[in-house]
Amino acid sequence: MNYTFHWNQALRRLPEMLDGALVTLQVASLAMLIGIVIAVFLAYGRLSDNRTARAVATGWVEIARNTPALFQIYFFYFGLGSFGLRLDPFSALLAGIAFNNAGYLAETFRGGLQAIPPSQTRAARSLGLSALQTSVHVVLPQMFRIVFYPMTNQMVWSILMSSLGVIVGMTSDLTGVTQELNARTFRTFEFFALAAVLYYAMAKLTILAARLIGWRLFRT
Amino acid sequence: MFDTAFSSNDLMFLLKGAWLTIQLTVVAVAIGTVLGVVFGWARESLPGWVNVPIGAVLDVLRSVPLLIQLVLVNSGKSILGLSWSPFVVGAVVLGLYTAAYCTEIVRGGILAVPATTRRAARSLGMTYWQDLTSIVAPIALRVSLPGWIGLTLGVMKDTALVMWIGIAELLRSSQIVITRIQEPLLVLAIAGLIYFVISFPVSRLGAFLERRWADDSLKADQ
């Protein structure tokens, strides 16, 4: 082995990489928020009696779960060009991960919704709550409690998935920054090893933060 | 009305990519399953000083993006002067990645076997090995199979990332065709359809087995 590691060179660039990590967290969180909102609708759509709603929701879920996340990002980056819509790498990445998150979370939420006894909905309705009020005040709070742990996993997935942005030319997130530095210095191993450490730290911090939030919200 | 430059040659090119995707999936899942069974057993049966380090390494494999792992191993092999082909690098990384998840699935399966059942087997005079292969394995297999099918599908989708180290699998092939004929939507739709055709039957099979085996265990309870 005649290779000399230059860890100092990588460590000197740590501030830039930490900025990248911040962008990664932003993309992942934003994609998660959008995904959660869409997933609630998809989950209700999957359980709905309306045939169209069910078809749309099922189609979304099946595509999101049966094709690679990178394929979905590709679709938003290259595919939308056919409609004259050009997304920059950031938007394409965000849209791709949000689409993916929504598909996976919809199935989780559906399980959560089904775990809540229908008698509760009937009780709420007979007390005079509207369908919307029943969902917002009775069903959804309990559902979020049930699905909180799987949601934490999805958030970690969201962070790891955001590394794919570099393939469509994203340069500001952690992997993008790392790739840029790599292209300038050819210290591939050092920079990517550092990136791996940062991703690991982000994943663990996310789980820790979720524990704290979960404890604060649900006392579990 | 509907005019396209997409030719049957392009379709063959995509199918060739899909074949590479399938090959890579099979190799990675094979490596991952063998290692996963060994590690899963080790995590449940060996003392802490072996099992904690294994668990830590597998945890890292699950918490670092696959893309980063691919780049690391790819540059690591050059540093060590190994002349592995990109396919080998992809198979090794995906195999270890699969092993990390498979270990947890196998472990869950082993944990699902009641301790009393195992003790009963031993009291009947079975050796440790007989207990493991004739009592634990069949029960654990039933519990872990749905998770294992899900994992296989996940790995199939994750093979798309090996394009980054220069393998023209399905997604990369479709990108090449897009560059040539400039019809991204059509080509991506076809690629997506191929992915779907590969994974949908497997996921149906998983759902079917899950349902069937769940019924079976109900029957056993009655």
Q: Identify whether A4 is part of a domain.
A: no
Q: Identify whether A164 is part of a domain.
A: yes
Whether residue B66 and residue A156 make contact (CB cut-off 8 A), yes or no, is no
CATH code of the domain containing A139:
1.10.3720.10
To the nearest whole angstrom, how far is the Cα of A127 from the nearest Cα of chain B? 38
Q: Identify whether A195 is part of a domain.
A: yes
A204 chain-B contacts, CB cut-off 8 A: 63
Query: Pick from A71, A196, A204: which is nearest to B72 by CB?
Result: A196
Q: Identify whether A163 is part of a domain.
A: yes
Q: Identify whether A209 is part of a domain.
A: yes
Chain B, nearest residue to A186 by Cα: B75
Q: Identify whether A156 is part of a domain.
A: yes
A83 chain-B contacts, CB cut-off 8 A: 185
CA A27 centroid distance within chain: 8
How far apart CA A136 and CA A142 sit, in angstroms, is 10
A207 chain-B contacts, CB cut-off 8 A: none
Query: Pick from A63, A70, A175: which is nearest to B160 by CB?
Result: A70
| Side-chain-side CA neighbours of residue A47 (13 Å) | 16
Q: What is the pLDDT along chain A (220 residues), one digit of tens a residue?
A: 678 888 888 888 899 999 999 999 999 999 999 999 999 999 999 999 999 999 999 999 999 988 999 999 999 998 887 788 888 999 999 999 999 999 999 999 999 999 999 999 999 999 999 999 999 999 999 999 999 999 999 999 999 999 999 999 898 999 999 999 989 888 889 999 999 999 999 999 999 999 999 888 887 5
Q: Does B183 contact chain A (CB < 8 Å)?
A: yes
Q: Does B104 contact chain A (CB < 8 Å)?
A: no
Whether residue B183 and residue A82 make contact (CB cut-off 8 A), yes or no, is yes
B153 chain-A contacts, CB cut-off 8 A: 66
- pLDDT at position B129 is 92
Q: Where are the alpha helices (DSSP H) in B3-85?
A: 8-45, 48-63, 66-79
Query: Pick from B67, B171, B185: which is nearest to A163 by CB?
Result: B67
Chain B, nearest residue to A165 by Cα: B67
DSSP classification of residue B113: S
Is the domain spanning B8-221 CATH 1.10.3720.10? The answer is yes
Ordered mean pLDDT values, 10 residues apiece, chain B (222 residues): 77 92 95 95 86 91 94 91 91 96 94 92 93 92 88 92 89 90 88 90 83 63 45
What residues does each domain of chain B span? 8-221
Q: Does B60 contact chain A (CB < 8 Å)?
A: yes
Provide ipTM, 2 decimals: 0.87
A200 chain-B contacts, CB cut-off 8 A: 60, 63-64
User: In which domain, by residue range, is A47 found?
Assistant: 9-218
* Token pair for A174: 């952690």
B170, B198 Cβ separation under 8 angstroms: no
Whether residue B171 and residue A70 make contact (CB cut-off 8 A), yes or no, is yes
- pLDDT at position A24 is 95
- pLDDT at position A81 is 78
To the nearest whole angstrom, how far is the Cα of B53 from the nearest Cα of chain A? 16
A68 chain-B contacts, CB cut-off 8 A: 157-161, 171, 195
Q: Identify whether A174 is part of a domain.
A: yes
Query: Pick from A63, A71, A200: which is nearest to B160 by CB?
Result: A71
- pLDDT at position B146 is 85
A153 chain-B contacts, CB cut-off 8 A: none
Other C-beta atoms within 10 Å of A149: how many?
Answer: 14
Q: Does B3 contact chain A (CB < 8 Å)?
A: no
To the nearest whole angstrom, how far is the Cα of B161 from the nearest Cα of chain A? 7
Q: Identify whether A160 is part of a domain.
A: yes
Number of domains chain A contains: 1
DSSP classification of residue B203: H
Q: Does B76 contact chain A (CB < 8 Å)?
A: yes
When scoring B71, B80, B180 by the number of chain A Cβ atoms within 10 A, the one with the most, hence best to mutate, is B71
